[in-house]
């Protein structure tokens, strides 16, 4: 399995079972992830207020603030942070409910370290893509790229090339078939410069 390590932010583990939360934290730390573990949801939410978090892994059934409540609060505070729900009370209905409420994934206990790491890597990659797309949308809006359609790797290369040449005094030759948007590219280069 290819490893993906977040550039910033910690993974927060919430479980009232000390063995599980410390075990998950140890597995994550063993793969190079910065992780913090809490036995109560409220403590994790308070931690979120002062620390950059990349991912939450939360038990579903806990005394005090349940995993459902943790999910709801995180969705309100920072909806871009993915949440993986773990539970020993796994049912299809429960999985459907937590996914509908914003969890990116669901993992039934007991699980193996490999199963956990697979879910974590997937969630962090999805977060990275979402952040890139949000940034790309803002960039398109700021530079007048909003007339362009697409976020594919090919279109991202076009956006990057526009930014590259937009800040230079060089003459630029734009080629392509009729109807591919050469005029839009020319206007975007002009605005980027």
Average pLDDT of the residues in 38-59: 90
Please give the angle made by the CA atoms of 107, 109 and 115, to the nearest 5 degrees. Answer: 50
Distance CA 152, CA 134 (A): 14
Asked whether the beta carbons of 17 and 63 are under 8 A apart, the reply is no
Return the pLDDT at 151.
Answer: 61
Instruction: Say whether pLDDT at 51 is over 70.
Output: yes
Per-residue tokens: 176: 């392509």
Q: How many helices (H) and strands (E) does the chain have?
A: 7, 5
The DSSP letter of residue 66 is -
pLDDT digits (tens, 9 = 90+) for 11-28: 999 999 999 999 999 999
Q: Which of 38, 36, 27 is nearest to 3 (CA)?
A: 27
Return the pLDDT at 128.
Answer: 58
Distance CA 184, CA 29 (A): 47
Distance CA 189, CA 143 (A): 9
Distances (CA, A) of 147 to 63, 169, 185: 51, 24, 10
57 sits in the region (left: phi over 0; alpha: psi -120 to 50; else beta) called beta
pLDDT digits (tens, 9 = 90+) for 134-175: 455 555 555 555 556 666 667 767 777 777 776 667 788 888
């Amino acid at each position: 399995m290819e490893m993906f390590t977040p550039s910033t932010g910690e993974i927060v583990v919430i479980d009232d079972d000390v063995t599980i939360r410390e075990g998950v934290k140890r597995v994550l730390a063993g793969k190079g992830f910065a992780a913090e573990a809490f036995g109560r949801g409220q403590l994790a939410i308070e931690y979120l207020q002062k620390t950059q978090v990349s991912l939450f892994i939360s038990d579903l059934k806990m005394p005090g603030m349940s995993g459902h409540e943790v999910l709801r609060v995180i969705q309100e505070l920072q909806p871009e942070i993915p949440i993986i729900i773990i539970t020993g009370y796994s049912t299809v209905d429960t999985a459907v409910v937590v996914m509908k409420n914003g969890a990116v994934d669901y993992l039934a206990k007991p699980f193996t370290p490999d199963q956990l790491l697979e879910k974590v890597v997937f969630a962090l990659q999805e977060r990275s893509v979402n952040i890139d797309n949000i940034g790309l949308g803002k960039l398109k809006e700021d530079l007048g790229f909003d007339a362009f359609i697409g976020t594919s790797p090919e279109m991202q290369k076009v956006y990057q090339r526009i930014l590259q040449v937009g800040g230079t005094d060089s003459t630029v030759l734009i080629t392509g078939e009729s109807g591919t948007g050469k005029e839009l590219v020319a206007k975007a280069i002009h605005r980027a410069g």
